[in-house]
Chain A
Amino acid sequence: MTLTDEEKTTGNGGPAGLGVVGWLRWGWRVLTSMRTALILLFLLALASVPGSLYPQRGVDPGAVARYFQNDPTKAEWLDRFSLFDVFTSPWFAAIYLLLFLSLIGCVLPRTMVHLKEMRRTPPPAPRNLSRLPHHADIEGDLASAEAYLRSKRWRVVTGDGWVSAEKGHLRETGNLLFHVALLVLLVAVGVGGLFGYRGNVLVVEGDGFANTVAAYDRYLPGSQVSPEDLQPFSFTLKDFQASYVGPGHEKQGQPLDYFAKLAVQDSPSSPEREFTLRVNEPLEADGALTYLIGHGYAPTFRITGGDGKVAFEGAVPCLVNDTSNYESECVIKVPDAAPDQLAFLGRFLPSTAPSGTEWLSVFPAAVNPTVQIWPFKGDLGLDAGTPQSVYDLSGHQNLKPLGQMTASPKPMAVGDAVDLPDGAGKIEFTGVKEWITLQTTYDPGRFPALLASGAAILGLLLSLLIHRRRVWVRVRDGGVTVGGLTRTEGGDFGEEFAELTKALEHHARAEVKDVS
């Protein structure tokens, strides 16, 4: 694959006394040599390793945040070298860009050579075919051999007393196709990154979602995406259902199937359609795909303030602590409660069972759902303007626990109501809904990337399985001599050659019969 003079130049450590052009030319040669490509391939593999050892922002931002919490000094150093963003880091980009530059430098001249080769006729037959690695003396004549080889789509030239044939140019075609396909793939990935977007959102049963930037909990647009570009679809989550492996099996509680029933509108003017969203079956609307990522419970509450007015009524999504039993944690903030604002920590147990003085969940389905509640009153500080998490009560210094805080208060069942101590109000557990988390992605590079991958596979198969080979036929007394040669290693040319000579002989005999 490499030109030998390249090896020579790289071995010498560069030419002396050549001007800028000479150095540039030398640099280009070094960059496009196979040895450099090989080193870059090793570097690319090596550079990917930390991407699997350290948490990555693009994969699991929460894990990166935890890393910073646990070991800030080390995390800072790792971050300085982009080790939490390996695959978008400058040094990773440097490696693959150099690799692709080297690839272009290799593919371009080879394409030129290959185009020339494709037009060239096979070389004349050597004088002594019996010196070739494959050769045989058979019956027959040149005309029938030529006819047969042409019928089998060999490229054939004839000369004085010989036939020369060649096959297998598709090997190099495949090789070039594969490498060009990799370039296209890289471009497709880049296009997807620039013109695509990704958004995550949590939706509770009964609620709707419209595809706008504001509706997302987390929104990651490519640099060339503006908010108006978002596909104008919307949907309502009508129902979510999950089933689990029942008790008595080793895998008790493992999910078997879950799906969400949606009423979808592809655009504000289009009619509503039903869609069942499943794990491997995303919703497609105008090129944007929406995926079912996760699910959990959202108990509903009615909360009355100390003044007797209902201050909150609705569903509160709880974060899942343990996916084997869906024990979940909830935070309820009631800024509208008067005279004091209220807040609650909750622990939701879908299948409640007592365990000593504690309570726990024994199954993920909502068989016997209860909530344990820890009430607080005071100032939620929502007017201060600092952003707060709706899933977190920590950092609220102005909240006071109401009554005695116990480790495991008596759980409330659906329909239960509890009067809060000090006449602070009342909380009612009114029901259980479920929520789902969704991810919407729009990636215009998907189909180009798929096509490029297909082309890469095709090119790879051609380049690895096809061999370039030549066959010559020369007249001798009472028949012909056939000689063959592969120009590439591997393959079973010996077998193919044996079959070919047999077929040539057979063909010659058949022709003789036709004539007589």
Chain B
Amino acid sequence: MSPDRLATLSDQLVLAAILLYLAAMIGYALELAFGRVTETVKERRLATVGGPSDDLPDPEPTPEPASWAPKAGLIGTAAMWLGWVANVSATLTRGLAVGRWPWGNMYEFVVAMLLAAVTVFLLLQLRYPVRFLGAFVGVVAAIGLGFAVRVLYTQAGPVVPALDSYWVAIHVTAAVAASGLFIVGAAAAGLFLVRKEGPSRLPSRADLERLAHRVIVIAFPVWTFAVISGALWADKAWGRYWGWDPKEVWAFITWVAYAAYLHARATAGWKGKAAMIVSLIAFACLMFNLVGVNIFIGGLHSYADVK
């Protein structure tokens, strides 16, 4: 296939992914709205170590769940997998069309980052009972891709010589993976804040907190690696490994904020809600580094290519 046709196919696949993620979101949302209330979640806990939720009073009787609700969830999962396939293919065909790693500008980065987030969710739900996250990851992925297509879209093409380096494969891939993980962590943290104590269709707050922590604990070293490999690349390309370029400043702020979350979680008086809020502030820094720095501040990392 010619590069132009591949590029067009990639654009169409992104649109397909948006629709499929929306379908997944609806399926998951139906299951969440009409499914069973999670007193039973205790048996399906992520970890078997005792948590505060063990001390909760017995939940009050709840309405009978709709019999079709689990089916809606399954359809959601199927749509999510299909969307994932479309998303992977979109990134792949884009890469083939331009003959380089397909995360060379902001549009491509966002498409890849959401792919990473969906991948994290799909892998998690294979092992743990986290289908409840599906609706939220699905809506984030659909809106994010829509934003990428409407606002960030850049025609397939070559990148500037500074980006034409194998470091893209190392540094940007790590940033994509870490961002994907942080998105899932932030979804769990957000649900933690939304959920009240007592019976709910969401898992217990302790479970949500644990899930967020678990994902962030994996994401944090990956993000650290992304920052360090960025420093290595900067050393090759710009003549210094650290120069307080705005993107570097905000990567540093994000790193410090997530480090603060990890410390907060281990500090008396900060465990639970406060630590979750810190993790969301850190996530806001990550998002500002992606959107705010690229569009409003600029600097040496001016590769967004957004007009």
| A residues whose Cβ falls under 8 Å from a Cβ of B | 1-2, 4, 7, 34-35, 37-38, 41-42, 44-45, 48-49, 51-53, 56, 58-59, 86-87, 133-134, 189, 198, 245, 249-251, 254-258, 278-282, 289, 291, 293, 439-441, 443, 446, 449-450, 453-454, 456-457, 460-461, 464-465, 486, 489-494
Contact across chains for A2 and B268 when beta carbons are under 8 A apart: yes
Residue count of chain B within 8 Å CB distance of chain A: 57
Distance in Å: Cβ of A496 to nearest Cβ of chain B: 11
Contact across chains for B214 and A255 when beta carbons are under 8 A apart: no
Which residue among B244, B246, B266 has the maximum number of chain A CB atoms within 10 Å of its CB?
Answer: B244
Contact across chains for B157 and A441 when beta carbons are under 8 A apart: no
Q: How far is the CA of A226 from the CA of B240 in the complex (A)?
A: 20
Q: Interface on chain B toward A: helix, strand, loop, or mixed SS?
A: helix
**B70-78, B177-185, B228-236: which lies at the interface:** B228-236
Known: A1-B267, A52-B246, A291-B237. A41 touches B256 (CB 8 A): yes
Known: A2-B267, A460-B224. A486 touches B49 (CB 8 A): yes
Contacts of A52 in B (CB 8 A): 246, 249-250, 293, 297, 299
Contacts of B132 in A (CB 8 A): none
With beta carbons under 8 angstroms apart, the residue of A7, A53, A280, A457 that contacts B165 is A280
Distance in Å: Cβ of A118 to nearest Cβ of chain B: 21
| B residues whose Cβ falls under 8 Å from a Cβ of A | 47-50, 155, 157-158, 160-162, 164-165, 167, 210, 213-214, 217-218, 220-221, 224-225, 228, 231-233, 235-246, 249-250, 252-253, 256-257, 259-260, 263-264, 266-270, 285, 293, 297, 299
Contact across chains for A278 and B161 when beta carbons are under 8 A apart: yes
Q: How far is the CA of A52 from the CA of B293 in the complex (A)?
A: 9
Contact across chains for A279 and B232 when beta carbons are under 8 A apart: no
Q: Given A134-B48, A249-B157, A254-B158, 4 other A-B contacts at CB below 8 A?
A: A37-B263, A48-B253, A52-B249, A198-B239
Q: How far is the CA of A257 from the CA of B159 in the complex (A)?
A: 10
Known: A52-B246, A457-B224. A133 touches B50 (CB 8 A): yes
Contact across chains for A7 and B268 when beta carbons are under 8 A apart: yes
Contact across chains for B210 and A490 when beta carbons are under 8 A apart: yes
Contact across chains for B249 and A456 when beta carbons are under 8 A apart: no
With beta carbons under 8 angstroms apart, the residue of A34, A56, A189 that contacts B266 is A34
Q: How far is the CA of A52 from the CA of B253 in the complex (A)?
A: 10
Which residue among A52, A58, A446 has the maximum number of chain B CB atoms within 10 Å of its CB?
Answer: A52
Known: A59-B244, A133-B50, A492-B47. A251 touches B165 (CB 8 A): no
Q: How far is the CA of A396 from the CA of B207 in the complex (A)?
A: 74
Which residue among A87, A249, A254, A280 has the maximum number of chain B CB atoms within 10 Å of its CB?
Answer: A280
Contact across chains for A464 and B161 when beta carbons are under 8 A apart: no
Contacts of A87 in B (CB 8 A): 244
Contact across chains for B243 and A59 when beta carbons are under 8 A apart: yes
Q: How far is the CA of A293 from the CA of B243 in the complex (A)?
A: 15
Contacts of A440 in B (CB 8 A): 239
